[in-house]
Every structure is written in C-alpha cells, then in structure tokens.
Structure 1
C-alpha cells in the first residue's frame, strides 16, 4: 500500500467519495504526473506559435492568439487538478476518464497551430469537448456517490455542459464573430466554479493544490529552458554563434533560475483556507503560467535577433518577466504579510526589468536584476524564517 492510499481503498474504488481535506502525505499521483506530461505538448505548441509571431513581426496578433490558446490549456488543466484534489478515487473508471481527458488535451494541442495562425478553433474545440465530457461524467459520478456534495456536483455538471455546448455553437458563427464570442465564453467558463461552489465547497486539499500548481510552474519554466537551448543549439550548428548570443543564453538562464527561486520561496498552502482565497490564487496563476511560458518564446526570438535572423526587441523577454514578477508578488508573497521592505523589492525589480528593455543588452541586464532580486529575497527569508 502506498503512503497516499487510504485504508478504505476498496470502498473508494466502488464509490467516488470526497477526499479528506486533512489527509497527510497528500501528494501528486503518477496519473496526475502523466496528465501534466501530456500538457507539455500543448504548452510547447502555444510557445512555438508566439515565438513565430515575434520573429515575423506579428506581435499584436500573436499575443492575442497566445492568450486565447493558453487559456484553453490552463483551464482544462485547472478543472482536472481541482476535481482530482477533491474526488481522486484512483479506480478503473476514474483512470479511464483521466486518460480520455489526456486524449482531449492532445487533440487540443494538435489544433493550436490552426487556432494560432488562422483563428480556426475547430480542432481545439473538439479536444476541449473530449476533455469536458469526461469531466462531466466524473461530476455526475460524484453526485451519485456523495450526498453532501450532490448539489455542487450537479451544478458543475450542468454548468460545464452548458458552456461546452456554447463553445460548439460558436463554431457556427461567422469567422470574424468567433473572436468576439471567445472572451464571453471564457468568462462563462470561469464563472461555473464560482456559481457551483456557492452553497457547498468541494473538499480540495490545500497542500495538494499548491503542489499541483508548483509542478505546472516547473513545466512552463522547463519549456522556457528548452526553447532557449534549442535556439542556441541551432545557432551553434550553423556557426552563427556570437558573444551577443552567449550573453543572451547566460542571461536567460539567470532569468529562469531566478523565476524558479522566487516562485518557490514561500509555501502557498498556508493561506489557501477558503474558496475566496483559492479562486483569487488559482485564477491569478493564469498570468504566472502564461508569462513563464512566454519568456521562453521571447528568449528564442532574441536569440534569432542575436544571430541576424530576426528583429525582435528586448520587450519580448522583459515584459513577460515583469508580469511574472508582479503576479508572484500578489499571489505568492503578499498573502504571507511580509515586511514593508520585502514587499517593495519585487515591484521595484519589475520596474527595473522593464527599464532594461531600453538598454543595449536587455536579456543579460534582466538576468542580473533577477539574480540580485533572488539573493535579496533569500536574505529576507533568512531574517524572517517561516
């Protein structure tokens, strides 16, 4: 029996009952890790599309497409993760439903290039429907097995199904109108959990949720490292490497390492004590995830510029880094009620990062600013231990 398996595992295998919110050793499961691994593909597709937009000078169009496609990725991952935190029975029907959702994620990933380049959402919506249909089946199963949470589960099932039908109906709209319908439907999707949990909170586990978000943060940071390393490799293979290129590579590593350091400097589970705090923290992570993945696309574009194959400005790196810093400051640091000095260093660093855009070496300068920020944050942490 594994550490995370409850003593009543046979009973749990027959019925989808809530997890214990005080359960010790509540860690991510191998199935959840597989789910995250498959989402790497979707994140990579979105980042690649953004890189191409930067490289070809279509930054505005690329940013809008990136925001739309990354929302679909993030929201599908969110729904699986929070449901699993409350009702992970780890039996055969649950595993099959999770594998179906993974299949939907891969279909979604395959549709991202079309959605990104041509705003053709057909395949992306198809993958989304596959994922959401499996999720609805899980909520209906939870409603049948958990009398206390029945109304909440039925609300989730009804809300998800309704919005899912609307997404499919959107495909019948004229192409130009689909882009206007998209934000409306995205807001409707975001509203479903708020409405569903008004009467009864699902039994999500704070420590487990914090770990799941941390793991996805590692995924998007890994995408940034991979994108930059592949770009540098391509430059070296074509003998286009220059001192500027190596300074970009070094600065990029400092940026990503510091982003990791800052995100994991404070434990998040301690302030996830209510739905209100959880909604703000969980929804706000869209900015953390999207900006972290965008840093990789920006680094790739700056590498192209350093080798004479593009004209991207340093803003494609500095802006997402600044967004990441401010989002981490609001969601991960301020809730810990740190001192005034500690509370000011991150916004100050974000301003300095934006100012680095106008220097001759924005990526190395940003890397130095981030490294100094990580060092100062570490010093404050030693002075004010948890």
Structure 2
C-alpha cells in the first residue's frame, strides 16, 4: 500500500471490534473531556454557571467533533498501516494540546493553544481524506469534499479566534455559525457518495464514549466518599449523596445500552440525526458529572447550582436518547417513557432538597422498565 493512500475497508464484515489505536484515541479524549467538565464544575462553584456552561459547550463540541470525525473515518478506512497510525497519533497530540488550552476558554482569555491543538487534528484529518482520494477512486469526490470543507472551516475558526475572544458579544453566535458549518460538511460530502462505515463498529465506538463521559459521575462518587482528615468513615450525608450519584450514573448507563443501539443503515438523514444527536447525549452526561462535582464543593450556592445543572443535564440526556433512538425503537406507551421522565426531572428542580434523590429514583424506575421491556422482545 502506497504512502498516503487509504482503501475502503469492508463495511459488511460480520464483526468489527475496537482497535488498540482507537482505545488510545479515547484516552486522549478522556483527558480533554475531563478538563472541560472540571472547568464547568469550578465555574458553577464560582457563581458563573451561565458563562461556564457556554464555555463547556464550546470546548466539549471541539473535543467531541474531533473524536467523531476520527471514529467515522476509522470505521471506513482504518487499514492498520504505519501512515494511518502516525496521522492518528498526530490527531491525539492535537487533542492533548486542546485539553491543555481548555482552561483559557473558561477564563475568557485568548484560546490560541486550544486552537493550535484543533489545527493539528484538522491537518492530520485533511491528509487522511487526501489519502482516501488517492486510494478510493469511487469516492474521490466525497473525499475531496471532506478535505476542502475541513480546510475552509479551519480558516473560519482561525478568523473567529483572531477577532473575538470567549465571552465577547459576538463570540457565541459566531461559534454557533461555525458549528453549523462543521455539521454541514459531512451532510454535503456523504451525498456525493456514502463512505463504507461499519454499523456495529460505530455503535461500539459510541458506546465506549458514553462510558467515558459517565466517568465524570464516577469521579464525583469517589470524591463524595473520600474521608475527611482524621475520619474513619465517610459522613452520612456525603455517603447518601454518593449513593444518589451512583444510582444516576448506573441508570444513565442502563438507559443507553438496552436494545439495538446501532445507527440506522440507509437513510442519511436518520444517520446524521443519530450521529449528531449524540452531542447532546454525551455533553449532557459529562455536564451531569460536573454538576455532581459542583454539589460537593464548599458553599450552599455551589450545591444549589450544581443540583440545577445535574438535573437539567439528566433531563437533556434522556430527552436526547428519546429523540434520536427510543421514539423509533419502542412501541406503545413505552416510546413516551423517556420524554415523560425528562419532564419530571425538570419539575424536580423546583425542590432543591428532593431534586437529587427524586431524580435518582425516577431514573432507576425508568431504567428498570426499559430493561424489562427489552427482555420481553423476542431474540
């Protein structure tokens, strides 16, 4: 196989597992997601929850978008060659640079370090698509459309950082415009000729990232259980919080995995809804963990704001799963359970004292009902 030449991989193989290289990329994503969640938790504790949420969404989008681009590309063109590995590792290094620059996003300072990491990732991805243009003649137009779209959008991001700092009036709307442009690139390119991604592989990769973002909730559980200086056993209140955090995390895990979690195979619109809609799923899971961590920080204000963020994030998580999957996969009244629970979670915010245990109980009931419904479905 020649240098910078990627041929398509078989999309109909009976099994396609996650490679060690992809697991290594996930590790880089863990660091970047953790940095974004930490910034959100500290911003909530400092009383800047609104600005911190915007900063979290911006930084999380960049991490998730880089991960998603790599994941779908690898599903179609990972040939395990030295060239692919080198370019993938370059993307990982860029992700780590992005993680190192996340703090500046929350501090509303120039984000040149984060942008530099994003540039590194995008250059590597552009070279990958150029290699596809050489190695897959049937999808040459698709590959060049991807490459040109990535280069064009990268120019937009450089211009945005140059003219608008995070927190400025124009930054958020211009960032949203950039997001729309990024999402349009695959939507346009795939219409030139769909890439041969593997359904089972994509489902497995998304499931792994879901586990990664739920790790932020596990971090909160550990923090809640940690012993105070000189103590032999955790404080009863902290232990109760840890139990509630754990129930929420376990229920969110259970809600994601029962049934057929694969993306739809034929219709581009449904596939894009499934793929893009996971931004809300993953972002909400990470934000829920950040809210839990904020609850544990000193100050009653941090606790109330953290509870608000956690419960709202859980509601978004459940509603997003309903939007992209459950309303299609379930029948009868069961197809509305997720949406009803999301609404109940929002209502629970009105009583801060009961919001955490109430959300944990409601999610546990929904997860149990979904599991039983999945068990009744014939194999």
Per the alignment, residue 283 of structure 1 pairs with 276
Q: CA deviation at 1:92?
A: 0.3
Q: Find the partner of 2:249 among 250, 256, 270.
A: 256
> Could you list the runs of 5+ residues in structure 2 that have no partner in the other structure?
none
Query: Within the alignment, does 1:88 sit opposite 2:78 as a pair?
Result: yes
Q: Give yes or no for contact 1:228–1:296 (8 Å, CA) kept in 2.
A: no
Secondary structure of 1:346's aligned partner: helix
Aligned to 1:209: 202
1:18 Cα offset (Å): 0.6
Match of 1:325 in 2: 318
Matching residue within 148, 152, 157 for 2:142? 152
TM alignment of 1:218-229, pairs within 5 A: 218-229=211-222
Give the aligned length.
373
Please say if 1:36 is aligned against 2:29: no
Go from structure 1 to structure 2 and tell me whether the alpha carbon gap of 1:243 and 1:12 turns closer, same or farther (over 3 Å shift): farther
SS at match of 1:118: coil
Q: Cα distance 1:285–1:119, how it changes in 2: closer, same or farther (>3 A)?
A: farther
Does the 8 Å contact 1:38/1:105 carry over to 2?
Answer: yes
1:61 to 2:48 alignment = no
Q: State the partner residue of 2:122.
A: 132
Cα distance in 1 for partners of 2:164, 2:303 equals 34
Question: What's the RMSD between the two structures over aligned residues?
Answer: 2.0
Give the equivalent residue in structure 1 for 2:175.
182
How far off is 1:136 after superposition?
0.3
Q: Counterpart in 2 of 1:267? A: 260
Q: 2:350 — aligned with what?
A: 358
Match of 2:188 among 170, 183, 195: 195
CA contact (8 A) 2:327 2:336 kept: no
In structure 2, what is the Cα distance between the partners aligned to 1:157 and 1:50? 33
Q: 1:236 aligns to what SS in structure 2?
A: coil
Seen in structure 2, the aligned counterparts of structure 1 residues 238 and 13 have a Cα distance that, compared at 3 Å, is: farther
Q: Which residue matches 1:344?
A: 336
- Secondary structure (helix, strand or coil) at the match of 1:171 reads helix
Report the Cα distance in structure 2 between the residues aligned to 1:268 and 1:349, rounded to whole angstroms. Answer: 20
2:228/2:234 contact within 8 Å kept: yes
Contact conserved, 1:55 with 1:312, CA < 8 A, in 2?
Answer: no
Mark the runs of 5 or more structure 1 residues left unpaired by the alignment: 1-10
Q: Is the aligned partner of 1:120 residue 2:113? A: no
How far, CA to CA, are the matches of 1:381 and 1:61 in structure 2? 40
| 1:237 to 1:352, Cα distance in 2 relative to 1, 3 A | farther
Name whichever of 112-121 and 142-151 sits farther off: 112-121
Residue 353 of structure 1 deviates from its aligned partner by: 1.9
